[in-house]
Chain A
Amino acid sequence: MTIKTALGDNHQFGSKSSRVTTAASLLGAATLAAVAKSRRGWSRWAFVLGSGYLAYRGVKEAQRPETGTVRVSFTIEKSPEEVFQFISNPNNWKQVLPEFTIDSSGEVARIKLHAHGLTIESDAEITDRAEGKFVAWSSLPGAIEHRGVLRVRPAAGNRGTELSVAMEFNLPAGQAARAFLSFSGHDPEQLVRETLRHFKQLLEAGEIPTTAGQPSGSRGAKGTALRFVFREQPGEIPGEPIRLAGD
């Protein structure tokens, strides 16, 4: 299936920036700076200059637009009709993506992510749709580019339904932006994976499992830091569980 997009059929997503180049440049810059510290005279300035150049290259590389692809699939113990109907209901999206506001009342969906006092915006439109089967979307020209397709199809062996998303994206500020997003749990891959997982959990178990709001002993600096690493920073307690047919 070809996805028709507002970005044009031949739109090129930016080239993938290299983590190795970034890391090597920044490491080189730090090494030369350390050497410069121990030198005197003209050679010191040569090392300072070299260090500055490598630091500039590293930062530039980190800022190159970061492209990526996401492919996530979950199998859900419900019929394709139930799954498609569930994901077609905007209220259910509010529950799995509480930090987003998605206004899909008009032709163009206005998507906003509110996190850490920042608001990140992107507009998107549905480019193709087959009831009960798939929805394809594409971002409109803007800072963040993304396009993809969400599919619903029966799983082999009467094992329920496969819900999948395949998408590609382009982040303007490159690795730096992705690292920031990743740290706060908003990396595109993570976001898609957890969204689909939460749909599965709501459809099968009727609730999204959580520990937000449970008691604990004193966490200290290490415990608090680990909560960030494990993406457990106290967020919103999930909303009221929905009721499912047959519940």
Chain B
Amino acid sequence: MKALCWQGKEKVRVETVDDPKILNSRDAVIRITRTAICGSDLHLYDGYIPTMEPGDILGHEFMGEVMEVGRDVKKVKAGDRVVVPFTIACGQCYFCKNQLWSLCDNTNPNAWLAEKFFGYSPSGLFGYSHMLGGYAGGQAQYARVPFVDVGALKVPEGLSDEQVLFLSDIFPTGYMGAENCNIQAGQVVAIWGCGPVGQFAIRSAFMLGAEKVIAIDRFPERLKLARAAKADIINYDEVDDVIEELKWMTGGRGPDACIDAVGMEAHGHGIPAMYDSTKQALKISFDRPLVLRQAIQACRKGGTVSIPGVYGGFLDKIPFGAAMNKGLIMRMGQTHMMRYMQPLLERVQRGEIDPSFVITHRLSLDEAPHAYKMFRDKEQACIKVVLDPWKDAVAA
């Protein structure tokens, strides 16, 4: 089959590789009908996530048709149309039983490696480094899905691939980012980053009762999409100080909740941004935590900082004194996918949201290397790329 393989910093290419097969009895193999490039894939592309190996198949937002299932698979059967969540969970451990699916104890074959980095291992993820499992990803024509009964979401009739594909990651991720803010009616939520996760966070914050959402970015097309959802906007290229601007827009109180939907590769202005870029270039740090600093500083007293953005390593110059003395609540984590997929599917079915609104580019898998660069550099007003692994292509 064809698959997009990581070969190093800014080097990805489509290679012909073996088809995946069932390895454990709770696995399935699916034929992928649509797959997407995630903003967090750009952290891999830019070489900022440790423990990648050349040859790794990328991709963790995919869906398709079940071709084959292992002998202990009970609910899913060949022919089912399913969306696959990016986290892999066993469904039986303490964490799964307590709905903390992305912290599953039993799905990371390289748990020892994650333990060296994090103390304890989170769940395995598709196509996202070897310390998080080293599982082959879904920017390919086929994929093996472990514990398919626990993860895969069956797609009901009448919904297109594009309407449900983002239940694999970015819609639940944006939603959990907003849910973690514990929004009360009438509250103001500030969201840094108007990429796909930010867009879903904006819409989710309104769904959860926010009165006002302030979206922060610098790209006109992304701000336009935020405004379409009735968010107020700040273009950080056009204001002197984001924190002062937020104070002004919230009657001097500050936002009740701040969402960092950017993560480790934040852009910005001034000395802090230069400091982060220098450190990252010198490989002293994996992360540029500019947004996290701003979010903590901007948040109102007793407010919540929610972090769906991905961070990799050790962050510095975090204003923890501000967080402590203002009594902030901080919530974060990889998305507990299985908690959100079904309820959000029902919102799509009821017509409350059509997640395909974020798509700006529809390309073939062969065009993926170009798409990564375009998405990273925000060329052609790119917000979200969806790939058809079978377009103009014959299975190798």
A residues lining the B interface (CB < 8 Å) = 75, 77, 159-160, 190, 193-194, 197, 200-201, 204-220, 222-223, 226-227, 230-232, 237-238, 240-241, 247
CA–CA, A237 to B144, complex, Å? 15
Whether B24 lies near A241 (C-beta < 8 A) is: yes
Pairs of residues from A and B, 8 with the lowest C-beta to C-beta distance, nearest first: A217-B5, A205-B90, A223-B54, A205-B106, A219-B55, A217-B55, A217-B15, A215-B18
Q: What A residues does B17 contact at CB under 8 A?
A: 215-217
Given contacts A77-B94, A217-B5, A230-B130, contact A194 B112 (CB under 8 A): yes
Residue on A nearest B8 in the bound complex, by CB: A222
Given contacts A77-B94, A205-B93, A215-B18, contact A232 B3 (CB under 8 A): no
Q: What A residues does B144 contact at CB under 8 A?
A: 214
Whether A220 lies near B92 (C-beta < 8 A) is: no
Q: What A residues does B23 contact at CB under 8 A?
A: 210-214, 237
Whether B90 lies near A232 (C-beta < 8 A) is: no
CA–CA, A209 to B25, complex, Å? 11
Q: What B residues does A201 contact at CB under 8 A?
A: 90, 106
Given contacts A77-B97, A209-B124, A226-B53, contact A215 B25 (CB under 8 A): no
B267 to chain A: closest CB distance in Å?
30
B133 within 8 A of A: yes
Q: Which of B15, B25, B110 contacts A230 (CB 8 A)?
A: B110
CA–CA, A247 to B91, complex, Å? 13
CA–CA, A237 to B22, complex, Å? 11
A53 to chain B: closest CB distance in Å?
37
B66 to chain A: closest CB distance in Å?
17
CA–CA, A217 to B396, complex, Å? 14
Whether A223 lies near B94 (C-beta < 8 A) is: no
B258 within 8 A of A: no
B306 within 8 A of A: no
B151 within 8 A of A: no
B72 within 8 A of A: yes
Whether A217 lies near B56 (C-beta < 8 A) is: yes
**Total inter-chain residue pairs, C-beta < 8 Å:** 128
Q: What A residues does B166 contact at CB under 8 A?
A: none
B106 to chain A: closest CB distance in Å?
4
Given contacts A205-B106, A206-B26, A230-B51, contact A217 B130 (CB under 8 A): no
A118 to chain B: closest CB distance in Å?
23
Contact code string B102-121 (vs A, CB < 8 Å = 1, else 0):
00011111111100000000
Whether A215 lies near B24 (C-beta < 8 A) is: no
The DSSP consensus for interface residues of chain B is loop
Within 8 A of A (CB), among B126-154: 130, 133-136, 144, 146-147
A194 to chain B: closest CB distance in Å?
7
Whether A200 lies near B55 (C-beta < 8 A) is: no
Q: A208-B24, A218-B55, A232-B109 are in contact. List 11 more A-B contacts (CB 8 A).
A: A77-B92, A193-B112, A200-B106, A213-B21, A215-B3, A216-B17, A217-B54, A217-B56, A219-B53, A241-B24, A247-B72
Whether B94 lies near A205 (C-beta < 8 A) is: no
B19 within 8 A of A: yes
Q: What A residues does B54 contact at CB under 8 A?
A: 217-220, 222-223, 226
Whether B26 lies near A230 (C-beta < 8 A) is: no
Residue on B nearest A237 in the bound complex, by CB: B23
Whether A159 lies near B55 (C-beta < 8 A) is: no
A164 to chain B: closest CB distance in Å?
16
Q: Which of B1, B55, B112, B124 contacts A220 (CB 8 A)?
A: B55
What are 9 sample pairs from A and B whose C-beta atoms fall under 8 A apart? A200-B105, A204-B90, A204-B93, A204-B106, A209-B106, A210-B24, A214-B23, A217-B55, A241-B25
CA–CA, A209 to B124, complex, Å? 9
Q: Which of B24, B25, B93, B134 contacts A232 (CB 8 A)?
A: B134
Q: Which of A75, A210, A215, A230 contacts B113 (CB 8 A)?
A: A230
Q: What B residues does A77 contact at CB under 8 A?
A: 92-94, 97
Q: Which of A218, A222, A223 contacts B15 (CB 8 A)?
A: A218
Within 8 A of A (CB), among B55-108: 55-57, 72, 88, 90-94, 97, 105-108
B12 to chain A: closest CB distance in Å?
9
Q: What A residues does B124 contact at CB under 8 A?
A: 209
Whether B135 lies near A211 (C-beta < 8 A) is: yes
Q: What A residues does B97 contact at CB under 8 A?
A: 77
Residue on A nearest B129 in the bound complex, by CB: A230
Q: What B residues does A247 contact at CB under 8 A?
A: 72
Residue on A nearest B121 in the bound complex, by CB: A197
Within 8 A of A (CB), among B1-46: 1, 3, 5-7, 13, 15, 17-21, 23-26
Q: What A residues does B53 contact at CB under 8 A?
A: 216, 219, 222-223, 226-227, 230
CA–CA, A201 to B121, complex, Å? 13
Q: Which of B21, B130, B133 contacts A209 (CB 8 A)?
A: B133
Q: What A residues does B91 contact at CB under 8 A?
A: 205
Residue on B nearest A243 in the bound complex, by CB: B72
Q: What A residues does B105 contact at CB under 8 A?
A: 200, 204
Most A CB within 10 A of own CB, among B3, B92, B108:
B92
CA–CA, A104 to B23, complex, Å? 30
CA–CA, A120 to B94, complex, Å? 37
Q: What B residues does A204 contact at CB under 8 A?
A: 90, 92-93, 105-106
CA–CA, A152 to B205, complex, Å? 47
CA–CA, A192 to B72, complex, Å? 29
CA–CA, A140 to B53, complex, Å? 43
Q: Which of B3, B92, B108, B135 contacts A217 (CB 8 A)?
A: B3
Whether A211 lies near B109 (C-beta < 8 A) is: yes
Q: What B residues does A159 contact at CB under 8 A?
A: 94
Q: What A residues does B88 contact at CB under 8 A?
A: 209
Q: What B residues does A231 contact at CB under 8 A?
A: 110, 112
Q: What B residues does A208 contact at CB under 8 A?
A: 24, 109
Whether B109 lies near A209 (C-beta < 8 A) is: yes
Q: What B residues does A210 contact at CB under 8 A?
A: 23-24, 109
